[in-house]
Amino acid sequence: MSDRTRAHVFVTGNVQGVYFRATTRDEAQERDVDGWVRNLDDGRVEAVFEGPAETVEEMVEFCHRGSSAATVEDVDVTYEAPQDEGEFRVRW
């Protein structure tokens, strides 16, 4: 039985143009978490994290802080079955 989980996250606030995606990628790669992050047209950032439950939860907690220049107002998280995401990347 695997302890892998998947978190699908939407982050609201001043989270675009403040290195949020790059910092998220760096934090995820440091923790060996798979998935992706991207900006949405409505100003939010969307991310998917897959990996061991403990490190995925660390990434969700990171989203509540964001990059040093970000101002996070809300984080909406849905936990799902893993879908075998590859190495963490920024989507355009």
- Residues marked active site are found at 21, 39
Contact 71, 31 (CB under 8 A): no
Provide the 3-class DSSP secondary structure of residue 68.
coil
CA–CA distance, 88 with 77 (Å, rounded to integer): 18
Contact 5, 54 (CB under 8 A): no
